[in-house]
Amino acid sequence: MKPILKIKDLKKIYHTKKSETLAVSDFSYDLKKNEFVSIVGPSGCGKSTILSILAGSLDASGGSIIKEESITFGYMLQEDCLFEFRTILDNCLLGLEINHALNEENKNYVISLLEKYGLKDFMHSYPKNLSGGMQQRVALIRTLALKPDILLLDEPFSALDYVTRLNVSKDVLQILRMEGKSAIMVTHNLEEALTMSDTIIVLSGRPSHIKNIYVLDFDKNLSAMEKKKTDLFLQYYNLIWKDIDGHV
Ligand code: ADP
């Protein structure tokens, strides 16, 4: 299948007055439609840098990002704050407003997403009336409102407690699958990467290069909990941890 995104030899050097830091030395990957990829690696290796370059908020120092013009990105952050003074629906319409794309059709699409993903009764409530998990689902729908093809997720669940995190990661994955999106997620949570992804890219320490790529071979019908109980999960966990840490 033809990739929807080709990242080739991406490189990033941060310049300060006194020094320069080579954060990413070369990163290449071809992303397929509907693929969920996680990037893991030691802290400070350049994961967020890669995501920021893809999101367009940071310039690369080298390499190329090739995609058709019609392919767009959506970005979901760690603590994707909702505006307290706007209702859930109005929060979800914000991106459309900013992009001058708020019309009846797009508004109905957002309402249909809220209905589909269990937020219908909260559409006219304010964020403070929703749990952390629900707020994160709202943040995802706000991102989906602009109909991006590729979701960029930067540690999207790290502000949530353990149980909420398990539930929200399951919900988010289900929503992305049902809406036919591709995703690139940066996380330091290996369990999350293993239960959510089709592919895991392991980066080396800075300056980062790709150390390994794992195309995960879990039965597609397994839930996150069921995956965790398999021998394969433990095997991947140990292999990737070894890649990151240098030993098990
Ligand atoms: P990660 O997301 O893997 O933790 P980052 O992408 O945030 O890593 O950062 C990669 C490296 O680049 C880090 O070592 C960090 O110190 C450096 N870095 C990040 N932002 C800047 C900046 N604005 N100026 C200089 N160095 C930076």
* Res 51 pLDDT > 90: yes
pLDDT digits (tens, 9 = 90+) for 177-222: 998 999 999 998 999 999 999 999 999 988 888 999 999 999 988 9
Does residue 63 come out as left (phi exceeding 0), alpha (psi in the -120 to 50 range) or beta? left
- pTM greater than the 0.75 cutoff: yes
Cα gap 129→166, rounded to integer Å: 21
Distance 75 CA to ligand 1 centre (A): 19
The residue whose CB lies within 8 Å of the most ligand 1 atoms, and thus the one to mutate among 45, 51, 53, 185, is 45
pLDDT digits (tens, 9 = 90+) for 115-169: 988 899 999 999 999 988 889 889 989 999 999 999 999 988 887 788 888 888 8
What backbone phi and psi angles, to 5 degrees, belong to 93? -90, -5
Mean pLDDT, range 50-62, rounded to an integer: 94
Q: Are 102 and 110 in contact (CB under 8 A)?
A: no
21 lines ligand 1 (CB under 6 A): yes
Q: Are 186 and 158 in contact (CB under 8 A)?
A: no
The two tokens of residue 134 are: 């629900």
> Residue 60: which of 75, 50, 46 has the closest Cα?
50
